[in-house]
Amino acid sequence: MKPIRTAVVGLNMGLYHAHAFSKAERAELTYVVDLDEEKAAKLAEELGCKYTTDWTKIMDEIDAVSFCTPHHLHASQALQAIQAGKHVLIEKPLANSEEECLQLIKAADEHHVKLMLAYVVRYLPAVRKLKEVLDSGVYGQPIHAQGYQLGLLPPMPPQSWFSRKETLGGGVLFSHGCHYIDILLWLFGEPDRVQSMGTRLGTDWLEGEGTAHSTIQFKSGVLGHLVCSWGTKVSQSPGKYHIHTTDALLELSNDMWKLEVIKKDGKDWVRELLYGGPKDDKPIPGGGVRYEINHFLDAIANDTTPETDGRDALLSHRTIWAMYKSEGVPVG
């Protein structure tokens, strides 16, 4: 089979996509694209591909494109590529509004192309294992779970797309928390009720909330809680996720490469997964995203639906939009 000709647009986060496409067996990295020509040229030389500053001009030379651009551009760029018959991978979020998400889903259906959200966390080996272990029921029924995504971002200028609510699509919960809300939904199924509170304390450069505490009650009764923050100077989170079942605690490490099962009488099961390769493989750009990239390429080659397709991605976005509407109950 001929390699799938790919392009990556937007070369900050896209740098990782480009490296992963260039290493993937099924793909040929044909183009890297950025408005910053120097950046694109440098990467093209490193990876041995072509470069341009205008992705709309290369549609005849590619089969699939990955958009790693600012959030407010995702919908229009993806729509144009889908209408040109290209398979599309989009960095999260799919789009900043429900209407735009639905438009993309419809267009992908009509043009028979793959539309996939780059939910990188979903495809990491230890996260896959977490779901498998939980679903097996060997540690009983899940009761409640906590997720932690704590970090500190340097302040961005007020006019940057990242600082503004309209272009970012919200605050930290929508922009970064979406990965971790997605994992809670994937693990525990249909949500029943949600609530969330946010604060701008510690992140006053950001128009939306820089810290959010968000809760989901699932239809099964399971409670899931996520704390995410871009304003945490010193973080000592106990892990990325703590999942409490009737028999054990399942702990996914902060770097998401290690899964431990802790029972009352000690550790029952530990599995360390480091990129499926040697430890020093870890810093290579594209290392973590290669799983999602391979999933996208497999979906194209085998004509299957990507797990995080448009419909699936919309569930996590809808959950967050409902959280943003929840206001809490005033005291007194």
Ligand X SMILES: NC(=O)c1ccc[n+]([C@@H]2O[C@H](COP(=O)([O-])OP(=O)(O)OC[C@H]3O[C@@H](n4cnc5c(N)ncnc54)[C@H](O)[C@@H]3O)[C@@H](O)[C@H]2O)c1
User: Shortest gap between Cβ of 35 and ligand X (angstroms)?
Assistant: 4
Residue selected from 5, 26, 71, 240 as contacting ligand X according to rule CB under 6 A: 71
- Mapped onto helix, strand or coil, the DSSP state of residue 118 is strand
91 binds ligand X (CB under 6 A): yes
Count of C-beta atoms within a 10 Å radius of residue 271:
14
Q: How many residues form the binding site for ligand X (CB under 6 A)?
A: 19
Sign, CA dihedral 135-138-142-146, equals: negative
Should residue 55 be labelled a site residue for ligand X when binding is judged by CB under 6 A?
yes
In sequence order, the 6+-apart residues with CB closer than 8 A to the CB of 252 are 126, 127, 130, 239, 240, 241, 243, 258, 259
Question: How far is CA 3 from its chain centroid?
Answer: 25
63 part of the interface to ligand X, by CB under 6 A:
no
68 binds ligand X (CB under 6 A): yes
CB-nearer residue toward ligand X: 31 or 139: 31
Task: Note whether 101 binds ligand X by CB under 6 A.
Answer: no
Rounded to a whole number of angstroms, the minimum distance from the CB of residue 187 to ligand X is 19
**C-alpha angle 43/45/49, rounded to 5°?**
85
Instruction: By CB under 6 A, name the one of 6, 7, 10, 243 that touches ligand X.
Output: 10
Q: Is 120 in the site for ligand X (CB under 6 A)?
A: yes
Site string for ligand X, 165-194 (x = CB under 6 A): ----------x-------------------
Q: Which DSSP helix (H) or strand (E) runs through 115?
A: strand 115-118
Judged by DSSP in three states, 263 sits in strand
Contacts to ligand X by CB under 6 A: 9-13, 33-36, 55, 68-71, 73, 91-92, 120, 175
